[in-house]
Each structure stands twice: as structure tokens, then as C-alpha cells.
Amino acid sequence: MLIFNPKAGKMQAKNNLFTLIDLFTKNNYEITTFPTQYSRHAVTIVKEKASHFDIIICCGGDGTLNEVVSGLMQQPSKVLLGYIPTGTTNDLATSLNISKDIYEAANDIINGKAYLYDIGSLNDKFFTYIAAFGAFTKVPYTTPQKFKNAVGRLSYFLEGVKHLTEIKSYHLKIECDDQVIEDDFVFGSITNSTSIAGFLKLNSDDVILNDGLFEVLLIKSSNNPIDLTNIVMGLLKQNYDKKKVLFFRTGNIKITSLVEIPWCLDGENSGEKKQVQITNITKSITFMLNK
């Protein structure tokens, strides 16, 4: 199944469709193509039809991949997954070392080996690499698609600047393993990735993508905006103030807030929630990867 989002990124998938079908056909694949028609269409297609296929090949950005994986997680068969990144940031592709060149990515699927990968669940939803709340998390889904199509990654940066004045603090109770943390936070991310929002990098030697654990990053509130700037600069240099930033690993985490908090999954808006239970479903998806 070749499923592609014609509206993702700079619309590369649409423009290269014939060449992709030709390449897979030359390598003895019998392809059925599904261009997504609307948001979340990929979830339905995959959930209903995946069991008739040996492999799903997803062409799109992080949002489309999230939909394909959500569909796969809701059906019983073990179907392989290949990913050809054609979105704006393609964070997960960076973590998985998948080429941004669509022919190289397609060839890597054809010549690939199976790699089991951890998926996350947040209440009844799934995410492939990030669940986040707070500062900057609105940026990917409030940036207009036309703007993303035209200027790509820079559009997220420009949109981010607009949100700098809207940073809110949340009082949270965080329960995981045998620890309980209660404090005020401006940002939190629960990730299975070395790349966050296209610019923040975690050390790739420390992040294992199928160990059953997430990396958790929490930034405490501060009354001084300069503090927040210093924290973000420290994170960019991977040298942060440990009193202001909490970093740990866990497979299960419960976060409770007094007010509704907007959550973002894989860069898409996931609605507002007072309580979330986040669980690592280890080795639940099989990617075909060359490296």
C-alpha cells in the first residue's frame, strides 16, 4: 500500500508519484496507491485495509506518519512499514536516519531490514515520537499549510516568534515509576526521538528507539523571561541548568493538571486534557530501514 499526503511539505510526493510507482514495480512490488483526501483519512484507510497488504509505504510528514501508525495500531495484523519523508520537518526520519531524498528513501525500503520501534499511547491516542505541552508546541499546527508548503522549516521558526509572548505556566502533578513530582512547568515533552521540532537534538548515543523507555524533558516556570531564553539556549547546546530542567527516562507517566492543558502529538493538535496517562508500547511497529 503506497499511501501519500499530496498536501504535505513542499508537495514532493505528488510530483514524484510516477517515478516511485515505477521504482517499486521494477522491484516486483504490486502497488495500490491511496492519496489522502482529508485530515485523518490515512487512519481509516490503514485500519480497514492494512491486513490485505505485506507492507505500507507512507509518503508525507510527521502528521501523516502518525495517522498511518495510529491505523496500524488499531488493527491486528503485523504489516511492515516503510517511510518516505516528504513533510516540513520530518523529525522522526532524522532519528531513524531515513534519507530526505525520496528515491534513496524508497531504495532503502526495498533493500531494508526489519527494525522494531516503540510507539507511545496518550490516553486513547498514539504518537510516533513526541507528546508535548506548553511553550512552542502550538507552532507546528498553527502554521498555515500554504506557508509550510512555500517556505518549509523556516515557517515554524517565524510562527514560533509570534508565540513567545503567550507562554503559560501549569501547576502539575507528575507520577512515574515510584516518584511523584509537583511543581510549575512551562514545557514538557515525552519523546522517542533524537530530534525535536527540527532543531532541538538529544544525544543520539543516549537515545534508544526500542528500549521501552521515553526521554522526558520538563522545563520549570520562571518569573524572568531571560531565564527561559537561557534555558532554551542551554538545551540547544545540550548543556542545561539541572535545577530548571528535569530530564529522565520512563515507560509510563501520569500527568495531572488543575486546568485543561493543550497537548500536541507528533506536531498535531490533540485537544485539551486535565489528566494524561502516557505508555510506551515497545517494539510494536516494524520499520523497513537500510541503516
Ligand X SMILES: Nc1ncnc2c1ncn2[C@@H]1O[C@H](COP(=O)(O)OP(=O)(O)OP(=O)(O)O)[C@@H](O)[C@H]1O
Q: Could you tell me which stretch among 1-9, 13-21, 180-188, 278-286 binds ligand X (CB under 6 A)?
A: 1-9
For the CB of residue 198, give the shortest distance to ligand X in the complex, in Å. Answer: 8
Q: Are strands 55-60 and 80-85 parallel, antiparallel or unpaired?
A: parallel
For the CB of residue 181, give the shortest distance to ligand X in the complex, in Å. Answer: 30
Q: Could you tell me which stretch among 4-12, 98-106, 179-187, 236-244 binds ligand X (CB under 6 A)?
A: 4-12
Over the window 8 to 27, marking each residue x when it contacts ligand X by CB under 6 A and - when it does not, the resulting string is xx------------------
Q: Could you tell me which stretch among 38-46, 94-102, 210-218, 246-254 binds ligand X (CB under 6 A)?
A: 38-46
Count other Cβ atoms within 10 Å, centred on residue 129.
31
3-class state of residue 189 by DSSP = strand
In this structure, which amino acid lies at residue 149? N
Over the window 53 to 92, marking each residue x when it contacts ligand X by CB under 6 A and - when it does not, the resulting string is -------xxxxx--x-------------------xxxx--
Q: Could you tell me which stretch among 22-30, 31-39, 127-135, 201-209 binds ligand X (CB under 6 A)?
A: 31-39
For the CB of residue 280, give the shortest distance to ligand X in the complex, in Å. Answer: 22
CB nearer ligand X, residue 150 or residue 233: 150
- What residues does 188 pair with on adjacent strands? 133, 218
Alpha carbon distance, N-terminus to C-terminus of the chain: 22
Tell which positions 237-276 bind ligand X, by CB under 6 A. Answer: 267-268
d(CA 7, CA 37): 9
3-class state of residue 289 by DSSP = strand
Q: Is 173 left (phi over 0), alpha (psi -120 to 50) or beta?
A: beta
Residue among 1, 2, 5, 83 that touches ligand X (CB under 6 A)? 5
Tell which positions 135-164 bind ligand X, by CB under 6 A. Answer: 140, 148
Residue among 1, 3, 7, 128 that touches ligand X (CB under 6 A)? 7
268 in catalytic set: yes
- Sorted by sequence, the CB contacts under 8 Å of residue 66 that are 6+ apart come out as 126, 127, 128, 265, 266, 268
d(CA 132, CA 267): 9
DSSP 51: G
The verdict on 94 binding ligand X (CB under 6 A) reads no
3-class state of residue 13 by DSSP = helix
Backbone angles phi, psi at 91, to 5 degrees: -55, -45
For the CB of residue 37, give the shortest distance to ligand X in the complex, in Å. Answer: 5
Which residues of the shown chain bind ligand X in the complex (CB under 6 A)? 5-9, 36-41, 60-64, 67, 87-90, 140, 148, 267-268
Catalytic residues, by residue number, are: 268
